[in-house]
Chains A and B, each alone.
Chain A
Amino acid sequence: SAVISQKPSRDICQRGTSLTIQCQVDSQVTMMFWYRQQPGQSLTLIATANQGSEATYESGFVIDKFPISRPNLTFSTLTVSNMSPEDSSIYLCSVRARKGEKLFFGSGTQLSVL
């Protein structure tokens, strides 16, 4: 399985600011994804991070609010823009390794917006 590192692990932010979350994988992966987990809830897919092109967003998520970069096969960032308290969640990076269907998750970024 791939080793996935997310930074920061947690942050407390002020309303109206933005936070960029980094996801670094120790090996090249075919696919990278970003999920959101609201308090006490299940996981919801935000977008698929595409290498070298714009991310593919799921219904209810837009690029202006959640810009995503993926400059290479091992790194991606998710920015949560113009934050409000409703953005308080855990944000998780997920990857599909080069072989097989298994999807693995990072440890997540716990975001609290005041």
Chain B
Amino acid sequence: GESVGLHLPTLSVQEGDNSIINCAYSNSASDYFIWYKQESGKGPQFIIDIRSNMDKRQGQRVTVLLNKTVKHLSLQIAATQPGDSAVYFCAEMSLGSNYKLTFGKGTLLTVNP
């Protein structure tokens, strides 16, 4: 759902299920995207990135999909584990912008054992 004020979108899944976290980005000139994971009390941790000349990139248990037509990014986590519980942020950048990242609102993922 949409975030209002201090409320983050939330996603609750069962352990072992696959998770899909979505992000709509705003700048059609953005050509590089990163997903970060932020656990409570910690800084954002790099998960995976993708350039705009790709529409899919896979890592270990994670896949990022990019749809430039509708300016949409998603992060898929396979076989979600309790350690995946965190806030996930997408971030966009134009590589000609001196590496200034614009962050999305974030999604709180809760994995139930």
Chain A residues in the interface with B (C-beta under 8 A): 1, 4, 6, 31, 33, 39-45, 48, 56, 58, 92, 94, 96, 101-108, 110
Contact = CB atoms under 8 A, between A and B. Distances in A.
A22 B6 CA distance: 28
Given A44-B103, A101-B32, A102-B46, 10 more contacts: A6-B43, A42-B105, A43-B101, A48-B99, A58-B100, A103-B99, A105-B44, A105-B45, A106-B43, A110-B41
A108 B100 contact: no
Given A45-B100, A96-B99, A101-B99, A108 B34 contact: no
Which 10 A-B residue pairs are closest in the complex by CB-CB distance? A40-B6, A105-B43, A42-B103, A43-B103, A107-B43, A108-B43, A105-B44, A106-B43, A96-B99, A42-B105
B8 to A, nearest CB: 7
Interface residues of B, number: 26
B95 to A, nearest CB: 7
A42 B104 contact: yes
Contacts of B6: 39-41
Interface string B11-34: 000000000000000000000101
A101 B89 contact: no
A92 B43 contact: yes
